[in-house]
Amino acid sequence: RQVTHRSRVHSTNTIASELLSQGAPHGTAVTADEQSGGRGRRGRSWISPFGGLWMSLLLTRPLPLHRAGEITLLAGVATARALEHTFGLPARIKWPNDILLHQKKICGILAEIRADGENVHSVILGIGMNVNLTENDILPELRNKASSLQMETGQRFSRAEVMGAILNEFNPMYTELVENGGGFAKVQEEWLSLCAHLGDWIEVQLGTERKRGLCLSIDRNGVLLMKMDNGQEIRVPSGEIVASE
């Protein structure tokens, strides 16, 4: 595997995209100590100081566009599994693919897709994990919902080891799904078993609207299935869980 490490970049996803344009092969990884313009989901920025794992993976094997979402869900499962298997940490997934430890977000995943018609020709999978961040690294207004491995465990972790653990879980799952034509059912089942809020009452922000309901499941496209107070079931293709009980 080709790994490019930089001390400071705007965003590792941007670097990965540039490497892609230059013909970098499938599996290329880009990491950085710091990002000055880290990107999060929904157009947000991602604060990326020294001590975190800021990584992007270049995946260039084709997959039909309508299945691209499976890769982000798979990445969430692989990351949660890595924390659990390698470090014994009870990581859970908050829909769609935030990784929580003790109910606090410690990792986010941003997949950027390059498609050509119905064929996805590449996915840039960005994974940002707050590894050795301390309280001062987390914005005061986020401290009740965001944290780091170090803050939650009182221990420091090797970023390289965390990265290795994620890739060790991710690679065989990816090969099975994309190259061996394995079904998504197994990933979906594992995702559901790691889901932090299955069967809980949740509130989802959808644009300017908020909907409250019971979290029932996700389908194979990552769509969240919710049951409302009135018994009606709704499908939420994208949005954000803002509360759960």
Residue ranges in contact with ligand BTN by CB under 6 A: 11-13, 35, 38-41, 44, 46, 48, 54-56, 98, 108-110, 126-128
CB of 195 to ligand BTN, least distance (A): 16
| CB nearer ligand BTN, residue 47 or residue 234 | 47
SS3 helix, strand, coil % of the chain, rounded to 5? 30, 35, 30
| CB nearer ligand BTN, residue 44 or residue 102 | 44
CB of 53 to ligand BTN, least distance (A): 8
CB of 84 to ligand BTN, least distance (A): 19
CB of 135 to ligand BTN, least distance (A): 19
**In sequence order, what are the residues at sequence separation of 6 or more whose Cβ sits closer than 8 angstroms to the Cβ of residue 68?**
111, 113, 115, 120, 123
Tell me the residue nearest to ligand BTN as measured from the CB.
108
Residue 12 Cα distances to 39, 53, 113, 135, 215, angstroms: 9, 11, 15, 24, 33
| CB nearer ligand BTN, residue 199 or residue 237 | 237
| CB nearer ligand BTN, residue 39 or residue 197 | 39
CB of 181 to ligand BTN, least distance (A): 29
**Residue pointed to by tokens 């997934």:** 93
- The string of DSSP letters for 83-96 reads HHHHH---EEEETT
| CB nearer ligand BTN, residue 180 or residue 194 | 194
CB of 185 to ligand BTN, least distance (A): 26
82 close to 166: Cβ distance less than 8 angstroms = yes
| CB nearer ligand BTN, residue 113 or residue 214 | 113
Question: Would you state the torsion angle of the CA atoms of residues 185, 189, 190, 194, taken in this order, to the nearest 10 degrees?
Answer: 150
CA-closest candidate to residue 81, choices 194, 203, 234: 194
The pair of structure tokens assigned to 164 is 């290795």
What is the dihedral sign for C-alpha 37, 166, 162, 58? negative
Alpha-carbon gap, residue 110 to 85, rounded angstroms: 23
